[in-house]
Structure 1
Amino acid sequence: MCTNISETVPAAGAAKGGAGWFPVTAANVGFDHAVGSRFDHALLLDFADPSRGPSARVAVELDLETGRALVAALQSVIEAAERSGAPV
């Protein structure tokens, strides 16, 4: 069953693919059929620069438990970074 659950947000960053580093201008998050992992359905994360074509893309498939842990870790690190006083 296709879920067609997806969201895209603008992004500012960089990712390393097969051809080296490239800018990341979009982050795609979804939940649907897995392609490269053993899961029937997975959280799908794509970090990409669509203007550079399909080679400027890093894709990750995660189970829901890992996704929840990743969200918690991201929130914890973001809060620590904000408290640190380091320039952002």
Structure 2
Amino acid sequence: MYLTPEFKEEIFAKHGKSKSDTGSAEGQIALFTHRIEHLSGHLKTNHKDYNTERSLVMLVGKRRSLLDYLMKKDVLRYRAIVKELKLRK
């Protein structure tokens, strides 16, 4: 599988407060971003895979709502994660 437990720990250690802190908004946003990139690559070769397309749209919505939450709670954390993951141009 493309998303091993070790890789998840690495993502949460890099973007969250610790490697076991799976509930932080930054860690979840980073994990969603990785999954979105993976599904986007899959859809480039399998453009008729509508189930994956729906999953991708749902993930983008979840990430958007987490980003909105983070922007309301703490603008500095929002700006840091957006800059770190290069989500904006």
Q: Would the TM-score normalized by the shorter structure come out above 0.5?
A: no
Give the TM interval when normalised to the shorter protein: 0.3 to 0.5
Structure having the higher helix fraction is: 2
Structure having the higher strand fraction is: 1
Normalized against structure 1, the TM-score is what?
A: 0.35
Normalized against structure 2, the TM-score is what?
A: 0.35
Q: Tell which structure's C-alpha radius of gyration is larger.
A: 1
